[in-house]
Structure 1
Amino acid sequence: MARNRKLILSAGISLLMLGAAACGSSSTPASTPSKAVDMNAWGKDCPTTYKVTVGGAAATMPVSYAPLVVAQELGYMKDSCVDMTDVNLVPGSSSPQKQVVTGASDVGIPDPAFMMGTDINEGVQAFFTWNQKNIIEVSTIGGTPLTDLKQLEGKTVGIFAEGSTAQPLVQGLVADAGGDPDKVKFLVIGEGAQAVAAINKHAVDAVALSDAYMTEVKELLKTPLQPVDIGQAANYPSNVLSAKGSTIKKNPKEIAGIGRALAMGIVFCTENPEAAVRILWKAYPDSEPATGSSAANLKNFALSLKARSGKWALDALPAGQQQYGYSDPAYYGAYRDFLMKSGQVKAAVPVSQLIDNDLVKYYNEFDAATIREQAKNWKP
């Protein structure tokens, strides 16, 4: 059954979204949840079902959020004693943080860059790192590849939306190369056919898009793209699940439940991207393109999801910490330093206050082999 998606369009202040975090010191000590978490109800009748409102940065439900949708539609949320009652979508990577800060959503899905500064953090923590590697890819349009990222000075870079995490990334890359980040111009080009039209009209010199959107563009585009090597920035974490620290401490089972459900959804989507896309389209019909053949769109969306699934891989994490949801303090610290160098973060929240790994073990309390088998055998 198609779900009602609450699409909130706002011109300014508080947007309904989800937040996530990054930053800090080089290590975070292991600790125990401040409140005992009884997970004995996993897979059984839950004594309490926690209702959770989640928000994200997009105009329509993006394919990259498929693990959350799969988790709700296939019962992983219910099995984890949570119910995702609303998904609030607004374009712009910074909006999720605002949503969590204002209390409009319980949980957010931001890029850590928009949580790191002491002026914007407001006690929000990343409790589940979803994308263990950077999801943004940078490419120039045709011609000779860049030999130095400083060459982006004076160029126009196409991004998905205002407030996209691609903007601080590109500015940081230019600053890291010794250039002036303020000399880079940005133009919103959207996604899919809209982005392709802007590229074909030579409205931009380069594009900085998420891996999912970049895959879609490459499938539609005739002009060759030249990938830009972004170096160590490729290892910085991207979207996370975030919540106020007080919420995490007060409702650990609710937080553990949504983290566990998401981890299960990730396993399913990694195993069978095409099935995940079909589930997404059935739950959110407006996420399916209105133009083009259904078969071609299904192929492109599945390819986009497959591209994204590489960023969920646990092998990006240190040995002994390869668990779904784990936030690596070293990567968060490196990302913070990168953004501080370009002046985008003036004063940073310590990593130990920005990330919370207390509940990670509970996110991983499920049989991944059973989920993979379910994904392999799934039929429309």
Structure 2
Amino acid sequence: MNITRTATALTVTALVAGLAGCAGGSDSPSAALTTIEFGLPTNMGANNSPMAVAEAMGYFEDEGLAVDIVVTGDSTSIVQGIDSGSLDIGSTPPEPIWQAMTKGSDLELVYNYIRKQTGSLAVLEDSPIESLDDFEGASIGQYSLGTSNMFLSEGILASAGLEPDVDFSHLAVGTGAAALQALTSEQVDALSLWDTEYAAFEAQGTPLRYFTTDEVASLFSTTYFTSTAYAEENPEAIEGFGRAMAKATLFTATNPEAALRIMYEAYPDTLVAGNSIDDQLEVDLVALNRRIELLTAGDPQGTQSWGAYDEAALEAWTDFALGAGIIDSAVDSIAAAPNTFVTAYNDFDGDVVIADAENWSAE
């Protein structure tokens, strides 16, 4: 697996070598493998560790796939990449997808990855902000100014009648230590990030308070999507990609420590300078375990529903997006997420994957 980090125009700025020495992987994709250009809005970290598992355990290669990760830094660029054909499959929460659809983009949601909502607004425990109304005049820290979490936070605050750039503002603060420093130094009043980031902050001793709405809390989060044309022309690639990610998610849920150690080996940049692996595991396991609760909500292994979208959840998403002003016209979310590939995603022996995870060793 290669990672390409890009600017918003998808211009390559660096290329990181793939997963050398990992089980089932290879230094360069075989000519016999189908390459998928996969758009990821954030850098590799505990929240994305199943991707590393899918490569290291050979799940992608078993499906005849070689996956190149293109890190864009924001979600909007991924939608643009899918539209232009420079990306094959993308990862983002739904907000920018709905927005693009209202402007004529022909997109299809193909795999429901994070089955519950990850995003919310967070403040320090002793913050004077006690309600959504108190966000008037606030500066909110975002990973970037093209992130889907910015749209989500605007939707949350719209429920209190607050408008962006009128009643509150956004500031790009990144993630990790930089985002936490922006909050604790009062550069921003709140953060609009996601579950694993917040869990890591709290694990390191910074208690937070959270703000969302019942409607937002019920929504699914990150989804995999593509163009309708790509889905029609490459069904086997999508089926294989989704099945590999279902296996990797089950592996991660079974043995999260193994998933993290696999990620550290494959992506040494995920290790914080000066931290021992044991110290980082202590923090990352808290974050990853919180994410696993959302990845496995509704027991997808037991119900054989990896990747599946619920129609009520799709309707709830577009109702929220329309009511919050994220989109200015309705979209047919049910037609855009037809669950075409769900049976194929679930066509694997879960007991084998569980055994692989339980028996995994770094030796």
Please classify the TM superposition score into its range, dividing by the shorter chain length: 0.7 to 0.9
Answer yes or no: is 1:52 the counterpart of 2:36: yes
Residue 270 of structure 1 and its aligned partner are, at CA, apart by 0.8
Residue 147 of structure 1 and its aligned partner are, at CA, apart by 5.1
Q: 1:211 aligns with which of 175, 190, 195?
A: 195
**Distance in 2 between residues matched to 1:51 and 1:347, nearest whole Å:** 36
Gaps of 5+ in 2: 13-31
Answer yes or no: is 1:140 the counterpart of 2:123: yes
* Aligned AA (1:244): S
**Distance in 2 between residues matched to 1:145 and 1:375, nearest whole Å:** 45
Q: Is the 8 A contact 2:272 2:280 kept in 1?
A: yes
| More moved, 212-221 vs 248-257 | 212-221
For 1:1-380, what aligned pairs fall within 5 Å after superposition? 4-8=2-6, 10=7, 12-14=8-10, 49-58=33-42, 60-84=43-67, 86-117=68-99, 118-120=101-103, 122-143=105-126, 148-181=131-164, 182-222=166-206, 224-315=207-298, 323-380=305-362
* Aligned AA (1:353): A
Other structure's SS at 2:156 match:
helix
Residue 328 of structure 1 and its aligned partner are, at CA, apart by 1.6
Change (3 A) 1:373 1:121: farther
Other structure's SS at 1:257 match:
helix
Question: Which consecutive segments of 4 or more residues in structure 1 shift more than 6 A?
Answer: none
Change (3 A) 1:167 1:314: same
Other structure's SS at 2:239 match:
helix
**Distance in 1 between residues matched to 2:338 and 2:228, nearest whole Å:** 8
Other structure's SS at 1:150 match:
helix
Q: Is the 8 A contact 1:55 1:108 kept in 2?
A: yes
* Aligned AA (1:346): D
Q: TM-score, normalised by structure 2?
A: 0.87
Other structure's SS at 1:366 match:
coil
Residue 53 of structure 1 and its aligned partner are, at CA, apart by 1.5
Identity percentage of aligned residues: 26
- Residue by residue over 1:241-280, the C-alpha shift from the partner in whole angstroms, topping out at 9 and shown as x without a partner, is 1111111111111110000000000000111111111111
Gaps of 5+ in 1: 17-47
Matching residue of 1:42: none
**Distance in 1 between residues matched to 2:86 and 2:317, nearest whole Å:** 27
Matching residue of 1:21: none
| More moved, 159-168 vs 263-272 | 159-168
* Aligned AA (1:293): S
* Aligned AA (1:368): G
* Aligned AA (1:236): L
Residue 144 of structure 1 and its aligned partner are, at CA, apart by 6.1
**Distance in 1 between residues matched to 2:355 and 2:303, nearest whole Å:** 25
Q: Is the 8 A contact 1:326 1:357 kept in 2?
A: yes
* Aligned AA (2:268): P
**Distance in 2 between residues matched to 1:234 and 1:356, nearest whole Å:** 23
* Aligned AA (1:7): R
Residue 52 of structure 1 and its aligned partner are, at CA, apart by 1.2
Change (3 A) 1:226 1:190: same
Q: Highest relative contact order (Cα 8 Å, sep 6+), 1 or 2?
A: 1
